[in-house]
Amino acid sequence: MTTSHYIAGRWVEGQGSDCISVNDPALGQPFAELMAASVAQVDQAVTAARGALPAWKNTSASERATYLRGFAEQLGQRREALITLQMRNNGKPRHEAEIDLDDAIATFSYYAELAEQLPSKNRDVPLVAPGFTARTRLEPVGVVGLIVPWNFPLVTSAWKLAPALAAGCTVVLKPSEVTPLIEQAYGQIADALGLPAGVLNIVNGKAETGAALSNHNGLDKLSFTGSNSVGSQVMRSASAQCRPVTLELGGKSAIVVFDDCDVDQAVEWIVAGITWNAGQMCSATSRLLVQDGIADALLTRLQAALENLRVGNPLTEEVDMGPLTSQAQWLKVASYFATAREEGLQCLAGGKALDRDGWFVSPTLYADVPKDSRLWTEEIFGPVLCARRFATEEQAIAEANDSRFGLVATVCSADLERAERVADALEVGHVWINSVQAVFVETSWGGTKGSGIGRELGPWGLSAYQSVKHVTRCLG
């Protein structure tokens, strides 16, 4: 696994100082290793992208769409291998890994269609003033650095790669060092399709590699998905160059359950929102706000549902939830269990790491959690749910909005007029009503407050990689 970097259309060995160990979290053991890219190799990747930009941005939209459809088709041809790798390196249950792959395929297909619908490069703009004409051009923003996380590899990279390529940008992709293997499929597909050398480059590494990419003066834009702490560093790097940045960061999202809701249905939505991907989601609805009239019955059912979840190795067992993806994340979640004990929180389910091989924790529920608890205010990134009760709609909205994050929320109510009203009042980027967290490529993704800057998916995802140029001509 030494030739792990795809630069200027060639696979090359890593020349960095870091050795990346790739682990199976269900066993807590490595199964591959690779050498990180050096700072010089990051520079080579950016240089290759810069060199490929003039020709790529001048390809026709239909030609770029053909390549994007090729990515979708090739992902489908690699289906079983990619699903297995998601299960092995991320610990995802099979049904989650299948959805990840389908999401990536749908993303490339969608942006292929959107590319074909792009208007001609010139669009006339009517002016009130006589004696002038005006037109606009949509142009690719240029060379883009893409930094993606470990919790949804393949998916998050598709959300960035597909619109960037559709817009006519060239890219340098840096996967997470926790899950560096699956994104190599994109380099393999680029080879198979004959994508021009330098249009797509992939460099693997740890913090040094990410910093080298973020700080490179050859980039025109940065797009980052990950933690707030690293996101702030990426933003500082972008500010030094005065270049645009898209940030999709953390969350501490609320799920609001009103007392007219069917209890069993509500439990299904709550469990999905906190245990999908073992809770390792920026969108995890980890704050449960439940109305007084239904609280006791719902918490009792919820406790039983969490205790009955099948937790295990997705490669050898039929499971509902797999392990945490890394030892570092396992230790972090365990530290919150210790904090909960120190704070004297009421634990109804879980609250512990599991005594078995691998990085497993139990699905966890704490009841009546104070608003000043660290578990209520901080992003844990694990299957840890904190519950509070509310009396009125106004109180629910106020408590849901009382967060430095603003990514997503869920509203559960049989009164659809109320549900829509509450959805409009929540200070977040995406709201589900009476649903699991179904994400569609046609919709937007991104948050408010500390949850980031900009939007991905939908037409907004494409416009994030486009620059608007205006040309005004005097007729005199």
Catalytic residue (choose from 248, 379, 399, 456): 248
Instruction: For Cα atoms 200, 201, 204, give the angle at the middle one, nearest 5 degrees.
Output: 145
Q: Count CA atoms within 13 Å of residue 306 on its CB side.
A: 31
> Is residue 59 domain-shared with residue 122, that is, in the same domain?
yes
| Calpha distance 332→250 (Å, rounded) | 15
In which residue ranges of the chain is pLDDT below 70?
1-3
Q: Would you call 282 a catalytic residue per the annotation?
A: yes
> Is residue 343 domain-shared with residue 418, that is, in the same domain?
yes
pLDDT in the model for residue 3: 67
Q: 403-452 pLDDT, tens per residue?
A: 999 999 999 999 999 999 999 999 999 999 999 999 999 999 999 999 99
CATH number of domain containing 140: 3.40.605.10
Catalytic residue (choose from 96, 177, 261, 282): 282
pLDDT in the model for residue 402: 98
pLDDT in the model for residue 338: 98
> Is residue 93 domain-shared with residue 221, that is, in the same domain?
yes
Q: Is position 420 within any domain?
A: yes
Burial of 440 (0-12, 13-18, 19+ CB in 10 A): exposed
Q: Would you call 347 a catalytic residue per the annotation?
A: no
Give DSSP secondary structure letters for 169-200. -EEEEE--SSS-STTHHHHHHHHHHTPPTTSE
| Calpha distance 112→166 (Å, rounded) | 7
pLDDT in the model for residue 266: 98
> Is residue 285 domain-shared with residue 424, that is, in the same domain?
yes
> Is residue 294 domain-shared with residue 213, that is, in the same domain?
no
> Is residue 324 domain-shared with residue 431, that is, in the same domain?
yes
| Calpha distance 195→239 (Å, rounded) | 32
Domain range holding 48?
A: 5-249+451-474
Q: Is position 467 within any domain?
A: yes
| Calpha distance 2→43 (Å, rounded) | 19
> Is residue 100 domain-shared with residue 201, that is, in the same domain?
yes
pLDDT in the model for residue 139: 94
Contact 388, 289 (CB under 8 A): yes
Domain count of the chain? 2
Instruction: Give the phi and the psi of residue 109 in degrees, each rounded to 5.
Output: -65, -40
Q: Is position 446 within any domain?
A: no
> Is residue 239 domain-shared with residue 320, that is, in the same domain?
no
| Calpha distance 266→256 (Å, rounded) | 10
pLDDT in the model for residue 347: 98
